[in-house]
Amino acid sequence: MEEQKKNNKGLFAAGIFVGMAIIIAVSFVAGNITGLISGLFPGDSGTASVSEDPAVRRKIKSVEKLIDKYYVEERDPSLEEEGIYKGIIDSLNDRYSTYYTAEEMEKTLEDNAGEYGGIGCYISYDMEQEHSYVAGIIPGYAADKAGMQEGDIFFKVDGENVIECDSEEVSGKVRGPSGTTVEIVVLREGEEVKFTLIRSLVEIKSVSINMADEKEKIGYMQISSFDLATQGQFHEAMDELEDQGVNGLIIDLRDNPGGDVDVATDMVSRLLPKGLIIYTEDKNGKREEYKGDGKNEFKKPMVLLVNGNSASAAEIFSGALRDHGKATLVGEKTYGKGVVQVVVPMTDGSAVKLTTAKYYLPNGECIHGEGIEPDVKVELDVDAYRENGTDNQKEEAIKILKEKIGK
């Protein structure tokens, strides 16, 4: 049963879309970034750079001489340069901080805008099993037509072994220009399955709605990520649900890895009364507050579905609604990511993503490393879901809303 749960992390999909880093709450910095990058250049008042240490410079020279004398292949100076930058960020030992090459940053920006040249699947990373897998399939695209399935483990992409690569690395290899071909080998129940797929432009739809109970008029909304395209989709979906006169609403954030913190706060502000949504504090104790005006407060009862892969911006969304008493959380304890990254673009097209602050829920709680406990704990019955699509967590949410509506 436990193994089935581990292999079931993408059931409610659609978690990480191709090209994005796993589970991030990010602000993209544009315009004047001088204040953010002060301290990164020689001659300023920042912390002394290790690279300026004479002993370090001598050792680097020694390593380079060894390479020149003995290494059997040719050196690539451009790769060596990028490796230095990546090494500096890697030395922080923070999995959320990253150095992006110009090419990697271009792909990330394309994905965050809501479109990319890919095969139409969502890729996530299983931290326990240490492999990337298919977390969801987008209907109508190459992965769907070829028969790829949720839970397939990425083994090879164009002949390159990717079994130890994280979701960002795998997605970077899967993506490419529309119309080009990519060969993918996955592991399914221990067997290799090969696919030859043609990439196409994929439109990412991260919000979907339907009616969970027609009689009681209980609406259902699934939000799979918090990306730039999600914001408009959410407001359109809310307009449609309110036009239908819903008496209650289920919002499904299971397997939602997060995304843009500004998008999440804008979305949840539509549901909340006037007041604090979250606040952040940086290394100097500087506090920044995110508030809602309460003008469009949703006053019908709500239930939020969460699980262990509901993270970052999804936890901001959930925690704010919980702290304001606007929603009942049902499911399993959330992931526990309470830090914010800023992506700082460099003049050559590369960028540095750094963890710059921690965020706190309205009640002052920092859930980083802790997660949010649901109000009603319900473990997913994986066997029932696989056999006939029965979703016991969703059924509990409907039950709770019926009771609230009946009062």
Which tokens in the block code for residue 162?
């990717």
Among 137, 172, 203, the domain-final residue is 203
Which tokens in the block code for residue 237?
């979906």
Is the confidence at residue 219, as pLDDT, over 90?
A: yes
3 — pLDDT class (breaks 50, 70, 90) = very low
Same domain for 190 and 232, yes or no, is no
Is the confidence at residue 377, as pLDDT, over 80?
A: yes
382 — pLDDT class (breaks 50, 70, 90) = confident
Instruction: Identify the CATH number of the domain in which residue 344 sits.
Output: 3.90.226.10
Tell me how many helices (H) and strands (E) the chain has: 12, 21
395, part of any domain: yes
What CA–CA distances, in Å, run from 130 to 163, 165, 393? 8, 8, 27
Same domain for 167 and 259, yes or no, is no
Tell me what pLDDT residue 341 has.
83
Structural domains counted in the chain: 3
Average pLDDT over residues 172-178: 87
9, part of any domain: no
Contact 150, 137 (CB under 8 A): yes
392, part of any domain: yes
Is the confidence at residue 363, as pLDDT, over 50?
A: yes
Taking only the tens place, the pLDDT of each residue in 4-60 is 333 343 444 333 333 233 333 444 443 333 334 433 433 344 555 777 888 988 998
Q: Which of 46-50, 99-103, 181-185, 201-205 has the lowest mean pLDDT?
A: 46-50
Same domain for 230 and 357, yes or no, is yes
CA distance 344 to 32: 10
191 — pLDDT class (breaks 50, 70, 90) = very high
CA distance 314 to 62: 48
Among 203, 230, 247, the domain-final residue is 203
CA distance 324 to 50: 47
Same domain for 169 and 288, yes or no, is no
More confident residue, 136 or 291: 291
Tell me what pLDDT residue 124 has.
78
Percent helix, strand and coil across the chain, each to the nearest 5: 30, 30, 40
Q: What does the CA dihedral 345, 351, 355, 360 come to, rounded to 10 degrees?
A: 40
CA distance 207 to 321: 18
Taking only the tens place, the pLDDT of each residue in 331-359 is 999 999 999 888 899 999 999 999 999 99
For the entire predicted model, the pTM comes to 0.73
Same domain for 383 and 397, yes or no, is yes
Is the confidence at residue 372, as pLDDT, over 90?
A: yes
Is the confidence at residue 72, as pLDDT, over 70?
A: yes
136 — pLDDT class (breaks 50, 70, 90) = confident
Taking only the tens place, the pLDDT of each residue in 100-134 is 999 888 877 766 665 678 999 888 777 678 899 99
Tell me what pLDDT residue 47 has.
56
Average pLDDT over residues 142-170: 92
Among 65, 96, 127, the domain-final residue is 96
373, part of any domain: yes
> To 5 degrees, how large is the angle CA 264–CA 267–CA 272?
110
Same domain for 277 and 225, yes or no, is yes
Same domain for 256 and 391, yes or no, is yes
Quickly count: other Cβ atoms within 10 Å of residue 242's Cβ. Answer: 14
13, part of any domain: no
Q: What does the CA dihedral 36, 39, 44, 49 come to, rounded to 10 degrees?
A: -160
Same domain for 386 and 245, yes or no, is yes
Positive or negative: CA dihedral 36, 38, 40, 45: negative
Same domain for 302 and 314, yes or no, is yes
218, part of any domain: yes
Same domain for 243 and 363, yes or no, is yes
Domain that holds residue 148: 115-203
Instruction: Identify the CATH number of the domain in which residue 165 sits.
Output: 2.30.42.10
Same domain for 126 and 246, yes or no, is no
Is the confidence at residue 198, as pLDDT, over 50?
A: yes
Contact 346, 88 (CB under 8 A): no
375, part of any domain: yes
Tell me what pLDDT residue 203 has.
77
More confident residue, 202 or 398: 398
Same domain for 330 and 262, yes or no, is yes
CA distance 308 to 150: 18
